[in-house]
Amino acid sequence: MTNYREIATPSRTKEILEKYGFSFKKSLGQNFLTEPNILRKIAATAELGPEDCVMEVGPGIGALTEHLAQSAGKVLTFEIDQRLIPVLEDTLSPYPNVSVVNEDVLKVDLVAEANQAFGAEHPNVKVVANLPYYITTPIMMHLLMSELTIDTMVVMMQKEVAARMSAEPGTKAYGSLSIAVQYYMEAELAFIVHKTAFVPQPNVDSAIIKLTRRVEPIVNVLNEDFFFELTRSAFTQRRKTLWNNLISHFGKSEQKKEWLTAALEATNIDPKRRGETLSITEFGLLANELFANKSE
């Protein structure tokens, strides 16, 4: 490409922002990466090839998008900020394999959008994105729980949130978010990105997490909604025992206590344990026992 200049260099980023008179909106969590090497590393972590269909959320001025477009077959990216659409039309003009949709990713039909951008017979999708910090978890859960089959996710988020998503039982970071993510995906912290790599500079460092879809969920449950309800209830107050959190959530009547006691005994789980000590498998066993014997 003649006179090719990467979008993500500090000088080109500044030039683009000045050309369009763009001002950052804190409410949209806009932090743009200005380190091309990090973007190359993100794309490499996703192991992209010409057969891959990639979905991105929050492209900004297209810094990561262009690296995805250079490696993948097709790229679909969602940008909520109308002001960035003409910028992206300009910066991504060399890449005919990119589709930009000016929508809130939480409100779109992901399957319909993927079919339109990639074709109805498209293979499974990879998600690669620098997610807005303020809404990382809702976006992640929307993607994971959608009807769209996502093979791999390589996403940047606050380091603390990435630690929670990849946490093991018995650690401070482990909680209902760890379980919700790891139920579907194998989680691995790929690398850390220092806050100085962004404009404007955020207050905390970031991390890249790589999630790979399991062939089957980590545990077979009778009802997924009930399983997630149980895991959330177990962490309502982390300092409380499993028993205290469960009766606070499900009720303190004698009938409820007997129902909970029977399930804990049947699964050999000590009610005095805290939620953070239970593995996902143990939560699955307990959820199944409780659900199978629900009286309502």
CATH homologous superfamily of domain 10-213? Vaccinia Virus protein VP39 (3.40.50.150)
H-helix segments, the chain: 10-19, 36-45, 63-71, 85-91, 110-118, 136-144, 159-165, 176-184, 224-234, 242-250, 254-266, 280-292
Output the known binding site for S-adenosyl-L-methionine.
Answer: 31, 33, 58, 79, 104, 130
Query: Does the pLDDT value for residue 290 go beyond 70?
Result: yes
What pLDDT score was predicted for residue 1? Answer: 46
What pLDDT score was predicted for residue 3? Answer: 59
Q: Of the ranges 22-31, 58-67, 96-105, which one carries the lowest mean pLDDT score?
A: 22-31
Output the known binding site.
Answer: 31, 33, 58, 79, 104, 130
- For residue 106, the one-letter residue type is L
Query: Does the pLDDT value for residue 171 go beyond 50?
Result: yes
What pLDDT score was predicted for residue 124? Answer: 80
Instruction: Write out pLDDT tens, residues 95-137.
Output: 999 999 999 999 999 999 999 999 988 888 999 999 988 899 9
- Segment 134-149 shows an average pLDDT of 92
Query: Does the pLDDT value for residue 26 go beyond 80?
Result: no
- Segment 161-173 shows an average pLDDT of 95
How far is it, in rounded angstroms, from Cα 16 to Cα 21? 8
> Which sign does the torsion angle of CA 239, 241, 245, 251 carry?
negative
Query: Does the pLDDT value for residue 296 go beyond 90?
Result: no
How far is it, in rounded angstroms, from Cα 48 to Cα 128? 10
Token pair of 173 as six digits: 């970071």
Ordered by start, the domain boundaries in the chain are 10-213, 224-292
Helix (H) or strand (E) holding 56: strand 53-57
What pLDDT score was predicted for residue 2? Answer: 45
> Which sign does the torsion angle of CA 180, 181, 187, 190 carry?
negative
Average pLDDT over all residues of the chain: 94
Q: Which of 52, 83, 82 is nearest to 67 (CA)?
A: 52
Instruction: Write out pLDDT tens, residues 179-200.
Output: 999 999 999 999 999 999 998 8
Token pair of 216 as six digits: 């089957």
Which pairs count as long-range contacts for 244-252, CB under 8 Å and 24+ apart, including other chains? Answer: 245/275, 246/271
**76 versus 216: which is more confidently predicted?**
76
Residues in the chain: 296
With pLDDT > 90 as the criterion, what percentage of the chain qualifies? 87
> Which sign does the torsion angle of CA 86, 65, 152, 57 carry?
negative
Token pair of 103 as six digits: 């929508």
Burial 121-136 (b: 16+ CB within 10 A, else e): ebeebbbbbbbbbebb
- CATH T-level topology, domain 224-292: Helicase, Ruva Protein; domain 3 (1.10.8)
Instruction: Write out pLDDT tens, residues 221-277.
Output: 999 999 999 999 999 998 999 999 999 999 999 999 999 999 999 999 999 999 999
